[in-house]
Amino acid sequence: MTEKQADDVLQRVLPRIKQCYATRLGMRSDLAGNMVLKFEVGPQGEMLSDPEIEKDGVADLDLRDCVKELLPSFPFKPLGEQKTAAVRYSLLFSPG
């Protein structure tokens, strides 16, 4: 899987992640930071393990929970027989 292929899939979910952030930003106007998502994709496009938040520099449990709920919904295309991919994706949250 190329970086672009992973990014294309994550871009489809990004509006929902932004909504998670907007909801929390309404309650904490200073909410900002970086979050790193980590997951592995299998030959059929399936998640090989539970997706996780590897780094959370935002430190807001409600935002973390909202984003974590979306992680299993990433719709990857099949990679091909015996092919897997490890993906790390960084999200930057900033109010301005």
- Burial degree of 70 (CB within 10 A; 0-12, 13-18, 19+): middle
The share of the chain scoring above pLDDT 90, in percent, equals 53
By mean pLDDT, which of 1-5, 28-32, 59-63, 65-69 is the weakest? 1-5
**Gap between the Cα atoms of 7 and 41, Å rounded:** 13
Strand partners, 86: 40
